Amino acid sequence: MATRKVVLKEDPILRKQSRTVTKFDERLWELLDDMAETMYADEGVGLAAVQVASLKRAIVVAIQDGRGITELINAEITHREGTQYEIEGCLSIPGEYYETIRPEKITVEYDDRYGEHHVEDAEGFRAVCYCHEIDHTNGILFLDRLNPEPHDREELEERARKRRAEKQPTVK
């Protein structure tokens, strides 16, 4: 395993569509392992392959809810429900944190690293993370999802502080 260089906001690759993964082989596993190491090194809670300059539809997510790391290959959101607001950041956009609008609940379909298909319902912060990372695979950044009428910043920052105190950093 090795860390890889995270591409930054200005890099046009971040606006490209990632491609469907068809080979669930050692090259993919190495990419996923490197993505996890890179995410942990940068204290992120999620990373998409495009952020390490690979246009594969591959995502890693690790939020502090006891589940450990989740790998999502070829992830698609098939159902969205409700609305939530979250202050998001991104490892490719360091130092910028803004309030976004996201669905409260989603259904996501994805393959795991062995090509096995999964259907999962997610809500709350996990849903935010999935949405953020799946957006990356479609060339979309959280800056495209900003709430035009943000809530009281202090209130949201208090929530973010609490989350950090629980060692659950703001979504990357």
Active-site annotation, residues: 133
Residues, the chain? 172
Choices 5-13, 19-27, 59-67, 86-94 (CB under 5 A): range interacting with Ni ion: 86-94
Question: What's the closest the beta carbon of residue 130 comes to Ni ion, in angstroms?
Answer: 12
Per CB under 5 A, 39 contacts Ni ion:
no
Question: What's the closest the beta carbon of residue 171 comes to Ni ion, in angstroms?
Answer: 8
Q: Which of 42, 66, 76, 67 is nearest to 171 (CA)?
A: 42
What residues contact 55, with CB distance under 8 A and at least 6 apart? 13, 16, 17, 18, 19, 49
Which of 90, 108, 131, 134 touches Ni ion (CB under 5 A)? 90
Size of the site for Ni ion (CB under 5 A): 1
For Ni ion, the nearest residue by Cβ is 90
Looking at beta carbons only, is 52 or 90 nearer to Ni ion? 90
Task: Indicate the Cα dihedral angle 68, 73, 74, 80, nearest 10°.
Answer: 0
Q: Which of 4, 143, 135, 127 is nearest to 57 (CA)?
A: 135
Contact code string over 92-131 relative to Ni ion, x by CB under 5 A: ----------------------------------------
C-alpha to C-alpha distance for 24 and 164, rounded to whole angstroms: 35
Residue 15: CB atoms within 10 A of its CB come to: 11
Question: What's the closest the beta carbon of residue 54 comes to Ni ion, in angstroms?
Answer: 14
Instruction: Give me the residues that bind Ni ion (CB under 5 A), please.
Output: 90
